Chain A
Amino acid sequence: MKKGIVFTLEALITFTFFLVTVVSIYVLIQQKQNTVPLYETVVLNDAYQVLELKYHTDLSVFARTGQVSPELRDYLNYVKETTGHSIFLKFDKFAYSTEGSNCEPLISQKRLLVYFDEGKDTTKDIRLVNYFHKLTIGLCR
């Protein structure tokens, strides 16, 4: 009778430790999450900031016609050489990337691009003129 009680207590303590260990590990194990790539996001934000400050006209020309000016092309190549990341631009049916057609998007953002849309100026109605456009900019893998 006594032996049985001693065995039960020992087993209970052992199993308690065992369970505590298992539960602790289960709670503390970190699930793999798709974290935001910090450096890449910073590179993308910096690149768009510089593009807006220095190449705003080139961007609006791209959004209107799909043409990428040599200056803009040079700068995107410079970004690729400096940071190792290729940038792609997309606006409606127009797309451009320093990787050409081999660009597989890693991250992308929709950024507000403000310019006067000449194509809709024929109405002469200021309320119908579209100033705000969404340009997609991103990094290739």
Chain B
Amino acid sequence: MDKLKNMIKKSKRGLFSVDASFAVIIILTMSLLFYLFAQAISSSMHNLDTRQKTISLIVFSNEIVRKEGAYKTNTETISNIISLPELNSFKTYLSKLNSSAYGFGYVEWKLYDKNNSLIDSYNKTFQDSQHEEVYCINRLVLIHDSNTGQDTEGTIKVCIR
């Protein structure tokens, strides 16, 4: 009779206890949440990196297309007018640098006139960064010809990696 009671008791217990089932559900849920958490962090880091690169590219291209000067209290900004001597001066400045202040591995620009003819180009590799994405921006400019004093429309395409 006692043996029979014990058998009935054992059969009622089941394979898992309630605690164990509950713990398994919580562990699975937490694993899922941690996975989502890691995904969210990874996605945010990528978005931040893209945003930072984009802003750095805009600031870098601003260095090419904008000139700001000050004499005593008078300040002047020359924006969206570039000339070949100025670009050559900027090339000389860049050629002396061993690393980019913005952390770029590679910089490049190509200057086109209104007929899409290539007028000037430059590229420099600071460090090997083949695996990274390339970011480019087209800046609308006027190209100043110091000989004729004329400004003609053009575009400078600035790319970084």
Q: How extensive is the interface on chain B, given as a class?
A: 20 to 34
The reply to whether B34 and A21 form a contact with Cβ atoms under 8 Å apart is yes
B84 contacts the other chain (CB 8 A): no
CB-defined contacts of B58 to chain A, threshold 8 Å: 38-39, 42
The reply to whether A78 and B153 form a contact with Cβ atoms under 8 Å apart is yes
CB-defined contacts of A49 to chain B, threshold 8 Å: 79-80, 140
Minimum CB–CB distance from B26 to chain A (whole Å) comes to 6
Number of A-B contacts (CB under 8 A): 69
The stretch among A22-30, A105-113, A114-122 that forms the contact with chain B is: A22-30
Query: Interface digits, B131-143 against A, CB 8 Å rule (1 contact, 0 not)?
Result: 0000001111110
> A78-B114, A83-B138 known; A28 and B80 CB under 8 Å?
no
| Interface residue ranges, A against B (CB under 8 Å) | 7, 10, 14, 17-18, 21-22, 24-25, 28-30, 38-39, 42-43, 46-47, 49-50, 53-54, 75, 78-79, 82-83
Q: Kindly list 11 other residue pairs between chains A and B, CB separation below 8 angstroms, not including A14-B23, A25-B33, A42-B61.
A: A18-B26, A18-B29, A30-B44, A39-B137, A46-B139, A46-B141, A54-B142, A75-B153, A82-B140, A82-B155, A83-B140
